[in-house]
Every structure is written in structure tokens, then in C-alpha cells.
Amino acid sequence: MKDHYDIAIIGTGPAGMAAATVASAHGADVLIVDEQPEVGGQIYRGITHQSIKDKTILGDDYYKGQSLADAFAASNADHVSGATIWQVSPEREIGISKDGAAHLLTADQVIIATGAQERPFPIPGWTLPGVMTAGSAQILLKSSGITFSNAVFAGTGPLLYLIAYQYLKAGVPIRAILDTTPKSNRLKALPHLPGALFHLSSIMKGRKWIKALKSSGTLFIEGIDNLKITGKDSTEAIEYLLQNKWHRIEASNVFLHQGVVPNVNLAMASGCIHHWNEQKLCWHASTDEWGSSNVPGISIAGDGGGIGGAIAAEYQGRIAAYQALYTTNKVKKQERDTNVLPAQHALTHEMRIRPFLDAMFRPATQYRIPTDDATIVCRCEEVTAGKIRESISLGCAGPNQLKGFTRCGMGPCQGRFCSLSVSELIAKAQNVSVNELEQLRLRPPVKPLMLAELANLTTLASEDT
């Protein structure tokens, strides 16, 4: 690692890999960093050493990552894996921890490509051992071939069906699939269907997964309400209401999923402006056509700025890289424009399906804003929905005041897993839109940092306190 780079890229998913490949091909000095030991991000995790022999289990879309990873491997970008980025300052000072040592370095341009995370699913019992997100289950499958027999899959969204389908392909028995997609979504998605028809093959793929799951004899139940997980010290059962009758399925593993949202913590802590997207029910980075944020030299590419999927992320990575190259005088305007044009067209095309998907798989209010007061919202500090509502009634006006009231969002995850639920909960209680609330102020270190590392931090410039 050097003290300074032309372009630093955070994240080795499709956006980061594409950006690094383009940027280094044009002679930029590029650093690319990721927490994971291998490239691929969430979508292509394990792509460079996949141990699953049968390629039909993970499917064609997964293996699309291969050529991207190959091109990246052939580039001469400095790749630092297994490292934690704990800050990107507005001055583009980057804090990295690797092998127990912390470093500060700088870059002329920073591309934040931190990808997506799964939306929280705060229902009673969601913090019990035995419950994990479907995405985590998929990570275990991709990275080490680990599976769990007789698990219940619950929730909504393409990823839920895909993972269940991958389980099916791998021959792992599934106890049940409980679909929480609100019935009314279909009607609301209908107006967006024309745009989505440009992606008929994607839609057909999704239908194929669901059809295969249903015809395999797996219990597939739709239209359920009041989902909850019960158990004493760990998961024992999942319960739900169907046509006004309570049902109970015994299970020791439950995989929850209701869509993915941008992983915004790093960009927010860097001072990048975000706004609430009511269609997607999450924070979006406020960026221009190049992905550039309000903070000079910091741009955001891929799902981290707004969900578009792996292919879109790849294009966004290329576009952000060309803009970074242009800003640092590595390519001329003309070269930038001719090179990004195909990517821009392809990106527009990619995005056409999104409004349909957003409407079709919009998670139900009851699973985003817990109605039961005892449901935990902030896992780190074990703050319940009831406690939050009580604080609001005491005059707590937004997520920042809530920290002072309840420590909610102040644990090691810094609100990563609760800030969406908290924002929606407060907005609902005050009958305002989330955009009217003050945003959670995030501060570095964005990821926990060992004090011993901080103490040994190699100082950049002499600075007095």
C-alpha cells in the first residue's frame, strides 16, 4: 500500500472490479480494498475458487462474474483484501485496518462501491439463534457449500426465491416457503409492467424458480400475516396467520428476506448527501449522472447508491471510473464520452425493470414497522419498538435524539441494521415523511477499530491538538 493513489475504490463487487479494471487500464494508480478475502462482492462471492462442481446449482448469472473477475485479476490495480475501511473523510483521507495495523492514506478520487445489504426484518423473535437472513444462508452456500436441511424460508423478493431454488437444485430439503408479498402489490406493479417487459427473460427466470419450488412439493404458502418466530433460547417454530387462523411450523432454522437496500454507512459518514426514496423505502445517494456525490472527488457506484443489480453495478463502475480518469486528467473528455456511451445506454436498459420489481416486492408495512412493542429494533443495544415509541412520546424528534434517549443505533453496527426501521417508525409515529426527519449522523470509525491500532496509527501530517 502506498500513501497516495490517483483513485481508491472501496469494494470488490461488480462495480468495484469494473471500475478498477477500467481505471488501471488507463494508467491510473489504483487501490481497491475489500473486507472479504476474495473478490466478487455478495453476488459473485467465491467466484475465483468455486468448489460447487454442479454449475446449475448457482446458475448462469453467477458465472457471469467469472470474466469480470478474470479481467480484474489481469489489471495492475493494488488489491488489498481482508481489510477494514473505517473512514473516508471529506478530504478523501482513507482509514484502513489490515492485519492488526491501521493506516491513513489519501486519494485524488474515491469510488465507494459498498454494495447492498439485506433489509432488516424486525418481527418477534428475529434475533433468536437459528434465524438468519436468506442472504447469509446463500453466502454460506457460495463460499463453503454449507447448507441447512429443513429450514423455513420466509419473506418476499427475487433473492428469496433464487436462494430457495438453489437449495432445491442442491437437493437440500426445505421445510416451507412462507411468502409475505402483499396481495395488493400485483395490482400496484401492473402499471410498471411495460418497462419490465424489456426484461422478459428475467421475469421468466423468476417464474421458473417459483414454479420449480411449487412443483417440487415444497410447502409454499402465500398471503400470510403476523409472521413471528418463537422459541425459548433458540428458534423452535415460525407462526403466522392465514385466513384468520394461526398456524405453526416447527423449525430450528429460519431464513428471512425482504429485499436489499444500499449499504450507505460509509458514504453517509463521508458527508455524501442522501435522500429517502419512497418507492424503494430506503436511502439513496444524491449523485449526478456519473455517480459523483456532493463531496468533491467522492463518487458512488453500484448498489451502494441505489439498487440496480449486478449488471447495472458493473456499468456504473465503468462510468464512475471514466469520470474519475477524466477529473484526474488521465483521459480526455472525448475519450470519456465515447467510452461511457454504451455503458450509459445499457444502464438505462438495465434499470427499466426496477420500478416493477420495487412495486411487486414492496415489503409490507407490518414487517418494516413492528407493531408489537416487545419486538427488538436495535439489535446491538436491544432497544424495542415499544421503547422507541415511548421516547417519541417524551419528545424525541428524530433518530439522533433517540441515541441520547435509548442508545438505539449506538452499538457496534452504528445503525446499519436498524436505521431504516427506526426512521420509518419515528416518521409513522409523527405522521411525517422520512425525508422530513433529521438523518442519523454517522461518524467514523464506520467499522469497529481496535484501540491499539488507532494508537499506532501512522500519522499523515503533523497536526496539533
Partner 1 sequence: MSTSKQTADAIIVGGGLHGCATALYLAMRGVNCAVLEKDYVGRHASGVNAGGVRRLGRALPEVPLADTALSIWRNIEDLIDDDCGFKSLGQVKVAENNAELSALKNRAKTVQDIGFLHEEIIDQKQLRELLPAVASHCIGGLYVNGDGHANPYRTVTAFKRKAISMGVRIFEKTPVTEIVRHGKNWQVKSPSKKIEAPIIVNCAGAWGGSIAAQLGDYAPVEAQALMLMITARMPHFVKPVVGSQGRTLSFKQFDNGTVMMGGAYQGSAEPEQNNTHLSFNGLAKNARAATAIFPIMRQATIVRSWAGIEGVMPDNIPVIGAGSADGVYHAFGFSAHGFALGPLVGKIITDLIDGGDIELPIDAFRIRRFSQNKDI
Footprint of partner 1 (CB under 8 A): 87, 89-90, 93, 95, 104, 394-395, 397, 401, 403-405, 407, 410-412, 414, 441, 443-445, 448-452, 454-457, 459-461, 463, 465
Residues pairing with 154 in the sheet: 178, 256
Q: Which is nearer to partner 1, 53 or 443 (CB)?
A: 443
Q: How far is the CB of 98 from partner 1 (least distance, A)?
A: 16
Q: How far is the CB of 330 from partner 1 (least distance, A)?
A: 29
**Rounded Cα distance, 166 and 172, in Å:** 9
383: left (phi over 0), alpha (psi -120 to 50) or beta: beta
Q: How far is the CB of 293 from partner 1 (least distance, A)?
A: 16
Q: Which is nearer to partner 1, 207 or 441 (CB)?
A: 441
* Strand ranges inside 167-253, DSSP E: 174-179, 220-222, 225-230, 237-242, 245-250
Q: How far is the CB of 453 from partner 1 (least distance, A)?
A: 8
Instruction: Say if residue 52 is exposed, middle or buried (CB neighbours under 10 Å; 0-12, 13-18, 19+).
Output: middle
Q: How far is the CB of 465 from partner 1 (least distance, A)?
A: 4
Q: Which is nearer to partner 1, 104 or 128 (CB)?
A: 104
Closest C-alpha to 179, from 255, 112, 250: 255
| Residue that the C-alpha cell 481508491 belongs to | 8
Q: Which is nearer to partner 1, 98 or 349 (CB)?
A: 98
Q: How far is the CB of 371 from partner 1 (least distance, A)?
A: 27
Q: Which is nearer to partner 1, 216 or 456 (CB)?
A: 456
The residue type found at 144 is S
Q: Which is nearer to partner 1, 325 or 377 (CB)?
A: 377
Q: Which is nearer to partner 1, 96 or 340 (CB)?
A: 96
Closest C-alpha to 120, from 367, 291, 457: 367
Strands 93-98 and 84-88 turn out to be antiparallel
**Rounded Cα distance, 393 and 402, in Å:** 11
Q: At what angle do helices 399-406 and 419-430 cross, to 10 degrees?
A: 100
Within 10 A of 128 (CB to CB), how many other CB atoms are there? Answer: 17
Q: Which is nearer to partner 1, 163 or 295 (CB)?
A: 295
Are 164 and 209 contacting, i.e. CB atoms less than 8 angstroms apart? yes
Q: How far is the CB of 415 from partner 1 (least distance, A)?
A: 10
Q: Is 285 helix (H, G, I), strand (E, B) or coil?
A: strand
Q: How far is the CB of 390 from partner 1 (least distance, A)?
A: 13
Q: Which is nearer to partner 1, 105 or 254 (CB)?
A: 105
Q: How far is the CB of 263 from partner 1 (least distance, A)?
A: 17
Q: How far is the CB of 102 from partner 1 (least distance, A)?
A: 8
**Rounded Cα distance, 426 and 402, in Å:** 9
Element (H, E) at 402: helix 399-406
The residue type found at 367 is Y
**Rounded Cα distance, 12 and 127, in Å:** 29
Closest C-alpha to 82, from 35, 139, 33, 114: 35
Q: Which is nearer to partner 1, 81 or 401 (CB)?
A: 401
Q: Where are the alpha helices (DSSP H) in 26-103?
A: 55-58, 60-63, 65-74
